[in-house]
Amino acid sequence: MSTLAEKRFVLVTGKGGVGKTTVCAAEALALAAKGKRVLVAMCNAKERLSTMLGSEPIGSTVTPVTKNVWAVNMLPEKALEEYGVLVLKSRVLYKTLFDNAYVRAFLRAVPGMQEWTMLGKAWWHTTETLPDGSFKYDVVILDAPATGHGLDMLRVPKVIIDVVPPGLLRRDAERAWALFQDGEMCAIVLVTLPEEMPTTETIELATALTKLGLPIGRVVVNQVLPPLFSRDERAVLEGAPLAAPLARATPGDAALDAARGRATRERLQADSMGRLSRELPVAPSFLPLLLDDASTPEALRQLAKRV
| C-alpha dist (Å) from residue 66 to 25, 101, 181 | 11, 38, 30
What is the reported pTM? 0.88
- Tens of pLDDT, residue by residue over 67-88, are 999 999 998 877 777 766 666 5
Q: How far apart are CA 83 and CA 175, in angstroms?
A: 15
Residue 292: its pLDDT value, please? 81
Instruction: Tell me the pLDDT of the chain (307 aa) as tens digits.
Output: 457 889 999 999 999 999 999 999 999 999 999 999 999 999 988 899 999 999 999 999 999 999 999 999 998 877 777 766 666 555 554 555 555 564 555 455 555 677 888 999 999 999 999 999 999 999 999 999 988 888 889 998 998 888 888 887 788 899 999 999 999 999 999 999 999 999 999 999 999 999 999 999 999 999 999 999 999 999 999 887 776 655 556 778 888 888 999 999 999 999 999 999 999 999 999 999 998 888 889 999 999 988 8
Residue 280: its pLDDT value, please? 94
286 strand-pairing partners: 221
- Tens of pLDDT, residue by residue over 6-47, are 999 999 999 999 999 999 999 999 999 999 999 999 998 889
Whether 117 and 84 have beta carbons less than 8 Å apart is answered as: no
Q: How far apart are CA 208 and CA 151, in angstroms?
A: 8
Q: How far apart are CA 278 and CA 256, in angstroms?
A: 33
Q: What are the backbone angles phi and psi of residue 195, rounded to the nearest 5°? A: -135, 160
Whether 113 and 83 have beta carbons less than 8 Å apart is answered as: no
Residue 83: its pLDDT value, please? 66
Q: Find how far residue 260's CA is from the centre of its chain.
A: 34
Whether 260 and 187 have beta carbons less than 8 Å apart is answered as: no
Residue 1: its pLDDT value, please? 44
